[in-house]
Amino acid sequence: MKKSSPPTTARPRTAIAGVLAVCWALLGATSDTAGHLNGRPEVEAFIEEMVAKHEFKRDELENLLAHAQLQPRVVRAMSAPVASPKPWHQYRPNFLNSRRIDGGADFWEANGETLRQARETYGVPEEVVVSIIGVETRYGASTGSFRVLDSLSTLAFDYPRRAEFFRGELEHFLLLSRDEGLDPLSLRGSFAGAMGIPQFMPGSFRRFAVDFDGDGRRNLWSSEEDAIGSVANYLKTYGWKAGEPVAVPASVAGEEFQAVLAEGLKPQRTVAELKALGIVPLAPVAADTPAALVALETEDGIEYWLILNNFYVITRYNRSVNYAMAVYQLSREIAALRQPEGAAVVAGIGK
């Protein structure tokens, strides 16, 4: 791995306009979806803004957006009724299984030096970075098949409920393509526009992606080094604290814990304050540590956990409690497999 200089979060601007001009000049061939966007007032307003704000060339943007293929299935997917979250005991097996655990150990084995450097640079343990990549894309095996330009254009102009958000992401995507010298017609991701091994939205890519392999590019599609560094940078930026715990199981007594459950995921009360309310950690944690309380539905009943700052940081990646707990517990299982002496610590917790 090339490490001649510290990882950077932005690539110096170069004469990229010429690269994109050549790319976009190749769009002369007709498309059966051409014209679906051009001429619409909201699209014209977006183009005007990009020209005025970011000095894009009008004809290039018009040409590019003329070849964006609107995807009704993307709108259908976004508009599907929101189902109630699965209980933990149904959600957990999707990520806490031998395939993800063994795959995580293999990914760690293949990228051990990079993961070590990410831990030393950002303070995020190897197993947490590996676990997020495992949950997001099965270690890069499933990064999405939708053309990002199509997904974002569809959601920006044909999905009114969140059009403002996705127009912002389309803006970031076009800036990203220009600044990084990327072909905006070739980049693929999820139906919502999330990209690469760590599934960053364009705005997150621009803010958090790093060139961790030192090759002068931020490549989250095929550089595992850049993906590892970028995930660690993301967590660090949101407040990850090196060496601190993530979550501990807890017991509850009385009725006052119900009010604590309703307070949300951001740790606000100290462990000492929670103990006074009948909420007791079942593993060592300092009395002055801020914590919150969550309840997980298992096959054997409700399981309570004190979640700490680093758990809350994981929820900045995805705000689901189940997601963050899956990342945490998967990270523990992967660490136990890599370091068998730690297996006794992990075995049985959260099962």
Q: 254 near 282, Cβ under 8 Å?
A: no
Torsion of the alpha carbons at 2, 204, 197 and 137, rounded to the nearest 10: 150
Residue 55, Ramachandran bin (φ over 0: left; ψ between -120 and 50: alpha; else beta): left
Q: Hey, where are the domains in the chain? A: 17-79+143-223
Q: Give me the pLDDT at residue 341, please.
A: 52
**Per-residue tokens: 161:** 């409920």
The crossing angle, in degrees rounded to 10, of helices 17-25 and 58-66 is 40
Name the CATH superfamily housing domain 17-79+143-223: Bacterial muramidase (1.10.8.350)
Q: What is the pLDDT of residues 161-214, one digit of tens each?
A: 999 999 999 999 999 999 999 999 999 999 999 999 999 999 999 999 999 999
Task: Please state the φ and ψ torsions of residue 129, each to the nearest 5 degrees.
Answer: -60, -45
Report residue 220 CA to chain centroid gap.
12
> How far apart (Å, rounded) are the C-alpha atoms in residues 70 and 303?
44
d(CA 146, CA 191): 6
Distance CA 126, CA 118 (A): 8
Find, among 59, 52, 17, the residue nearest to 38 by Cα.
59
- C-alpha span between 231 and 128 (Å, rounded): 9
Active site residue 136: yes
Which residue among 60, 136, 171, 224 is the active-site one?
136
Which residue's structure tokens are 């409690």?
A: 321
State the burial class of residue 20 (Cβ atoms within 10 Å of its Cβ: 0-12, 13-18, 19+).
Answer: buried
- Residues of the chain where predicted confidence (pLDDT) is lower than 70: 1-35, 82, 340-351
